[in-house]
Amino acid sequence: MGFFFRFLLLLCIFAAGTAIEAQQSHRRRTQIRDLTTSEQDSLETQFSSKPDSIPPTTFFEITRPIFLPPNAVRHSTLVLQHDFGYTYGKPAVTASYTPPSNIVPAKIVLEWSATCKGRQYDRIFGIWVAGVEILRSCTAEPTSTGIIWNVKKDVTRYHSLLSKKQTMSVYLANIVDTKYTGVYHVNVSIHFYYAEKDGGSLRSVEDQSPPGFGAPADLILPISRNPPLNDGLWFLVMNSTDIESKNVTIPANTYRAVLEIYISYHSSDEFWYLNPPNSYISSNNLTGTPGNGPFREVKASIDGNLVGVVWPFTVIYTGGIDPLLWRPISGIGSFDLPTYDIEITPFLGKLLNGKPHRFGFSVTNALDVWYIDANLHLWIDKNSKQTTGSLIRTKPTTPTVISSLTPNSKSGDGLDGSFSTTAWRELSSTGWVNSSHGNITTEYYQNLNYTNLMVFTANGTTQQVNQTIDSNWGVKTKNYSLQVFQRFPLYLLDGTENVDKHQYTAISNISFGFNEKRYVGGKLVSGVENNQNGDAVMIVEGNIVKEGVGATDQKYFYENRINGCYSRIVSSRNYSILHDDEGTMCRSWDLRRTLLQR
Ligand SMILES: *[C@@H]1O[C@H](CO)[C@@H](O)[C@H](O)[C@H]1NC(C)=O
Ligand SMILES: *[C@@H]1O[C@H](CO)[C@@H](O)[C@H](O)[C@H]1NC(C)=O
Ligand SMILES: *[C@@H]1O[C@H](CO)[C@@H](O)[C@H](O)[C@H]1NC(C)=O
Ligand SMILES: *[C@@H]1O[C@H](CO)[C@@H](O)[C@H](O)[C@H]1NC(C)=O
Ligand SMILES: *[C@@H]1O[C@H](CO)[C@@H](O)[C@H](O)[C@H]1NC(C)=O
Ligand SMILES: *[C@@H]1O[C@H](CO)[C@@H](O)[C@H](O)[C@H]1NC(C)=O
Ligand SMILES: *[C@@H]1O[C@H](CO)[C@@H](O)[C@H](O)[C@H]1NC(C)=O
Ligand SMILES: *[C@@H]1O[C@H](CO)[C@@H](O)[C@H](O)[C@H]1NC(C)=O
Ligand SMILES: *[C@@H]1O[C@H](CO)[C@@H](O)[C@H](O)[C@H]1NC(C)=O
Ligand SMILES: *[C@@H]1O[C@H](CO)[C@@H](O)[C@H](O)[C@H]1NC(C)=O
Ligand SMILES: *[C@@H]1O[C@H](CO)[C@@H](O)[C@H](O)[C@H]1NC(C)=O
Ligand SMILES: *[C@@H]1O[C@H](CO)[C@@H](O)[C@H](O)[C@H]1NC(C)=O
């Protein structure tokens, strides 16, 4: 019993059929259920003396407000209302959707609102419209007195899709039985906001020429699995050699294309950034511990050629590390997982021949399982039937991954050691497309750096991980440039102490963040600094968590050149909010300089 044991216990239960079966056939994994169950038992005990009249706790993820035009008129449609009971292994729930009018809205917002009471895991789910994914999310874990939560997402970029009658699908694989009683009661609504003045504008803060930039795509094609399915529409990437793909034909008069990728990781790779190298696992006889080291790269390809990569942000689901950390402030990205855009305009020349082309996804070092799908956003030339183009050059250097192992291998200390993994990649593609907008040459680039330092001490019962992902990507044309700088830092200290036959104490200390700045033409258009720190302790006896408390602090700053600054500073402890200050505090943004100086 040690660190690895505990980590596995707190895994999110995922939706894939294969994964559930694997879990049940595996001793360590089977115990995942037991601890989470008893942990929830103990929480139930803790609250069971309270009267039924207790209002449900509101859980939330901190995000920025969705900025609306002044005096906007709202038209709302409740698209789907469903109670997700035993939905595991069943087809997605569907509903038909009709847009409220033909008028061009200023904003479109998707709203998920849900309640749940009882005992249940964190469940991953997805919402698709005509096969195009518009939200990937994780449910909040309920309590015996009930919880309520709400997710609002700006889905204006899906305007072309949402302005037509469509079918919406929601897949949330829940299991309800005598032990796991939580049924998720869900409403999904879509709100259209119309500007007071006529002719609402869909353009974003990145609004700048050239054509196609700043405004939503004219057509969005799904790169997901087609129903009927007894599962989500996402592809399941099971291992490092698995390439999941779909053939897609695009209109011959397309002049810009962006691939938007949805990603979530589960089971053996739920905590990929904590996975030790296989050498450590085999030399310490830790069979069953997920390995392959802590580096992962999602690769997107067209007809087998690499077009872009994602070094994903470390989303921690609501049952992850220590569930007490995420009540009521949920982890960054957990209710609205980030998506990643890859500009594929330079490759359009190869795709305009009216023939199907294979869009593929794979994950370097993957263990089961990654849920991946994508949306192809296309801008269509209304003034011509055929655009033409050609790739000028690509520079897909393979990532250089350096891993080193420094075991502290004195006798008796076999489980101690430290590992440093660093990786970097530079990738770029340049191509021209001739349309009625002119002959435009587009360059897309990605520069990525990754470091992970993993240290095991106290005979392997304590793990410390420091990881940073720096990503700089952008798009350039003759008279336009978009540059995005992202930094995803993560620090985690996790340990088990006082281990004896009957009980142990588990402590966690975490700090992680999602930081991003966007520049157009060299000028800052938007920035976000979003960081969480958490501390949690739980004493586990046998299979019962006897005591436990989690505390979380979060600082959120957002700024864009139209709406100004937004800030929110929140802290919670033991299910209660200690303070919550929302305001318009501005940051002196120096992230870009910091990134450039590294
Ligand atoms: C869903 O909508 C119905 C009808 O408007 C409402 O009674 C119910 O409280 C809503 N449930 C949630 C979880 O928002
Ligand atoms: C940039 O070039 C495009 C295409 O030639 C043109 O339509 C647009 O107006 C130009 N934008 C600026 C800011 O010059
Ligand atoms: C990887 O996963 C694919 C898809 O499930 C499977 O066909 C293949 O056998 C797996 N390869 C290995 C080496 O396990
Ligand atoms: C996609 O097309 C290729 C040939 O272009 C073919 O070999 C492959 O089987 C197709 N894949 C699917 C999933 O249809
Ligand atoms: C490794 O673990 C297995 C099963 O627990 C055990 O049978 C074996 O003796 C162990 N080997 C070493 C070298 O500790
Ligand atoms: C370290 O842990 C291993 C495996 O749990 C155990 O066999 C060994 O006795 C421990 N060593 C010390 C010095 O505690
Ligand atoms: C470029 O595209 C325009 C608009 O479709 C077309 O009129 C023109 O002939 C094209 N130029 C060339 C050299 O193909
Ligand atoms: C578009 O511009 C590129 C680069 O300048 C050039 O090589 C190509 O021939 C042009 N295409 C057309 C259709 O004019
Ligand atoms: C790891 O991160 C922690 C917390 O940010 C910091 O105190 C520590 O110095 C870092 N360690 C290394 C080796 O970078
Ligand atoms: C990655 O590191 C290299 C070398 O230190 C640096 O030049 C580059 O700017 C870094 N890229 C990012 C995105 O931080
Ligand atoms: C854990 O984090 C808190 C701040 O959130 C800090 O005060 C404390 O010293 C940390 N504990 C350890 C063991 O690193
Ligand atoms: C957490 O809150 C509960 C209920 O309010 C209380 O009974 C318990 O003592 C608190 N625990 C800690 C460690 O503050």
**Over the chain, what is the mean pLDDT?**
86
Residue bearing the bigger pLDDT, 232 or 505: 232
Q: 10: helix, coil or strand? A: coil
431 and 347 Cβ atoms separated by less than 8 Å: yes
State yes or no: pLDDT of 545 exceeds 70.
no
Which residue's CA is the nearest one to ligand 6's atom 11?
412
| Measured CA distances, 18 to 24, 89, 237, 293, 371 (Å) | 10, 10, 12, 23, 13
Among 422, 487, 597, 598, residue to substitute to test ligand 10 (most atoms within 8 Å of Cβ): 598
How far apart are the CA of 552 and the centre of ligand 9, in A? 19
**Secondary structure element (H or E) that encloses residue 40, with its range:** helix 27-48
Which residue's CA is the nearest one to ligand 11's atom 13?
509
User: What is the distance between the alpha carbons of residues 161 and 221, in angstroms, rounded to a whole number?
Assistant: 9
pLDDT band at residue 74 under the 50/70/90 scheme? very high
User: Mean pLDDT across the stretch 3-13?
Assistant: 35
Residue bearing the bigger pLDDT, 586 or 360: 360
User: What is the distance between the alpha carbons of residues 532 and 477, in angstroms, rounded to a whole number?
Assistant: 37
Which of 538, 512, 528 is closest to 591 using CA atoms?
Answer: 528
Q: 55: helix, coil or strand? A: coil
Predicted local distance difference test score (pLDDT) of residue 9: 34
For the chain, give me the number of helices (H) and strands (E)?
6, 29
Q: What is the number of the ligand closest to the CA of 369?
A: 3
Contacts for 62-65: CB closer than 8 Å, 24+ residues apart: 62/329, 62/530, 62/554, 62/556, 62/568, 62/570, 63/152, 63/336, 63/556, 64/528, 64/556, 64/558, 64/566, 65/566
User: Mean pLDDT across the stretch 174-200?
Assistant: 87
Could you tell me the end-to-end alpha-carbon distance of the chain, in angstroms, rounded to an integer?
40
Among 386, 390, 439, residue to substitute to test ligand 8 (most atoms within 8 Å of Cβ): 439
Q: What is the pLDDT of residues 580-597, one digit of tens each?
A: 999 999 987 654 444 443
- Say yes or no: CB of residue 453 within 6 Å of ligand 9: yes
User: What is the distance between the alpha carbons of residues 472 and 310, in angstroms, rounded to a whole number?
Assistant: 11
Q: Which atom of ligand 9 is nearest to the CA of 491?
A: 2
pLDDT band at residue 42 under the 50/70/90 scheme? very low
Q: What is the pLDDT of residues 500-541, one digit of tens each?
A: 888 888 899 999 999 999 998 888 889 999 999 999 998 877
How far apart are the CA of 204 and the centre of ligand 3, in A? 42
- Say yes or no: CB of residue 415 within 6 Å of ligand 6: yes
Amino acid at residue number 324: L
398 and 426 Cβ atoms separated by less than 8 Å: no
How far apart are the CA of 509 and the centre of ligand 11, in A? 6
| Measured CA distances, 561 to 62, 518, 521, 526, 588 (Å) | 21, 11, 13, 6, 14
State yes or no: pLDDT of 386 exceeds 70.
yes
Q: 159: helix, coil or strand? A: helix
Which of 394, 404, 386, 408 is closest to 442 using CA atoms?
Answer: 394
Among 58, 77, 110, 113, residue to substitute to test ligand 1 (most atoms within 8 Å of Cβ): 113
- Across 304-416, the runs of DSSP E, i.e. the strands, are 305-310, 339-343, 357-364, 370-380, 388-394, 400-407
Q: Any idea what DSSP says for residue 174?
A: -
Q: Which atom of ligand 3 is nearest to the CA of 239?
A: 1
Q: 350: helix, coil or strand? A: helix
Chain Cα centroid distance, residue 225: 19
- Say yes or no: CB of residue 441 within 6 Å of ligand 8: yes
Instruction: Compute the chain's Rg from CA coordinates.
Output: 24
- State both tokens at 526: 């938007």
Q: What is the number of the ligand closest to the CA of 486?
A: 10
Q: What is the number of the ligand closest to the CA of 433?
A: 8
State yes or no: pLDDT of 33 exceeds 80.
no
- Say yes or no: CB of residue 432 within 6 Å of ligand 8: yes
Which residue's CA is the nearest one to ligand 8's atom 14?
439
How far apart are the CA of 350 and the centre of ligand 8, in A? 15
Q: What is the number of the ligand closest to the CA of 513?
A: 9
- Say yes or no: CB of residue 434 within 6 Å of ligand 7: yes
Please provide the DSSP assignment of 444-510 as one string.
Answer: EEEEEEEEEEEEEETTTTEEEEEEEEEEEEEEEETTEEEEEEEEEEEEEEEEEES--SSEEEEEEEE
Cβ atoms < 10 Å from Cβ of 48: 10
How far apart are the CA of 82 and the centre of ligand 1, in A? 10
How far apart are the CA of 213 and the centre of ligand 7, in A? 21
* pTM confidence score: 0.91
Q: What is the number of the ligand closest to the CA of 415?
A: 6
User: Mean pLDDT across the stretch 50-58?
Assistant: 72
Q: 2: helix, coil or strand? A: coil
- State both tokens at 133: 């994914």
- Say yes or no: CB of residue 434 within 6 Å of ligand 8: yes
User: What is the distance between the alpha carbons of residues 155 and 96, in angstroms, rounded to a whole number?
Assistant: 18
Which of 431, 475, 482 is closest to 254 using CA atoms?
Answer: 431
How far apart are the CA of 331 and the centre of ligand 9, in A? 21
Q: What is the number of the ligand closest to the CA of 286?
A: 5
pLDDT band at residue 197 under the 50/70/90 scheme? low
